[in-house]
Amino acid sequence: MNLYKSVEVIDSGKSIIVQRADGSAVRYHSAWLRDNALDPKTRNTINGQRLITLSDIPINTYIESATLDETGKNIFLTFLPEKKKVSFSANWLETHAYDVKQDNIKGWIPKDLKIWGRNMSTNIPTVDYKSASEDKNLLLEWLKSIYCYGFAKMTGGKIESGALIQIANFFGYVRETNYGKWFEVRTEIDAINLAYTNLGIEPHTDNPYRDPVPTIQILYCLENSVRGGDSAVVDGFYAATRLREENSDYFDLLTKYCLRFEFKGDKKTHLKSRRPLIELSSDGELIAIRFNNRSAAPITDVPYDIMEDYYKAYRAFADIINDQTMAVKFKLNPGDCFVLDNTRVLHARTAYSDSGSRWLQGCYADKDGLLSKISTM
């Protein structure tokens, strides 16, 4: 519970300043307060959608008076020239306070995300299918761990084609692509002909040639009797953080210039995108990693004088991603799956070369659905 000691109009009504119980102060602008008024004419009380546009607010809006009730929990404002009276709770104002020191470094990540390396191998967030289906709290914790770590496992699901859709249903909807609702990752190995050795696949994010890129991926195991063929995941946010700490110039190059990604499938499919390997928001937040050597097109957006350094930076980033201290490895058994944030976590497969079969199915879903589910649960 937030409590205020006093409120005062400053800057000729352009702002207010509020004294907190602990003696600190916080300011809010009149235009901001008027725009965010919570009265039923400004905001729909059911869905919270704003009912006015900026142009409905007088350009010379200002606060004539500001008072605090005796509990210290609510502030009452009068705006002129509208003569509009609006109240805000101290709790609401504190939740949305913006008068704070902004000292974000380039590549910052939200506080509730935790970066990880190989040491998470012994502590992989996991739930079994039956428990997740029956216990809402367990399901919620599991969904939160997908958000927090960008990755989680589920065990004990049904061993039938298409069962991965039920995993997507826990938090959202399948994103259908030209591959269909899901795609097959399947190899039958002929033990006699070892030429068909199944090579490992280095850590990558999926489908960087799509715009927007698929944000959630589910990989679901139906058969796995081969030797090897383990799955591995790498935290791309940790890799980017390491690159920034080891060589900030390299980090800047990979955030500044775009790669192009391209995929030509059948005659009806030609997908292209143009994005950096490490994507930051305009205020420096680390928002996505794209790393997939197989679908990287020729780099044409880096100036001649920079290209040599760009390649060095690209290689340094790849070296970090492939560093053995980065990967969390695990074996999927039939009915097991893992869910990952494809904008953050890279996935890989170790080689397998024995007899047996390995059959996975994969599909995509959307991260906003995951976050919505967490919020509403």
> Residue numbers of the site for Fe ion (CB under 5 A)?
206
Give start and end residues of each alpha helix (H) in the chain: 30-35, 90-95, 129-134, 136-149, 164-169, 236-246, 248-256, 304-322, 367-376
Beta carbon of residue 315, minimum distance to Fe ion (angstroms, whole number): 21
Beta carbon of residue 347, minimum distance to Fe ion (angstroms, whole number): 6
206 versus 341: smaller Cβ distance to Fe ion: 206
Residue closest to Fe ion when measured from CB atoms: 206
Beta carbon of residue 61, minimum distance to Fe ion (angstroms, whole number): 52
5 versus 294: smaller Cβ distance to Fe ion: 294
Beta carbon of residue 205, minimum distance to Fe ion (angstroms, whole number): 8
206 versus 336: smaller Cβ distance to Fe ion: 206
Q: Cβ(3)–Cβ(90) under 8 Å?
A: yes
366, two tokens: 């959307």
Beta carbon of residue 211, minimum distance to Fe ion (angstroms, whole number): 18
58 versus 228: smaller Cβ distance to Fe ion: 228
219 versus 278: smaller Cβ distance to Fe ion: 219
Report the C-alpha gap between 334 and 327 in whole angstroms. 22
Beta carbon of residue 187, minimum distance to Fe ion (angstroms, whole number): 14
184 versus 301: smaller Cβ distance to Fe ion: 184
Positive or negative: CA dihedral 237, 214, 302, 296: positive
For the chain, the first-to-last Cα distance in angstroms comes to 23
Report the C-alpha gap between 130 and 321 in whole angstroms. 34
Report the C-alpha gap between 183 and 162 in whole angstroms. 10
Positive or negative: CA dihedral 230, 242, 109, 116: positive
Positive or negative: CA dihedral 238, 232, 154, 294: positive
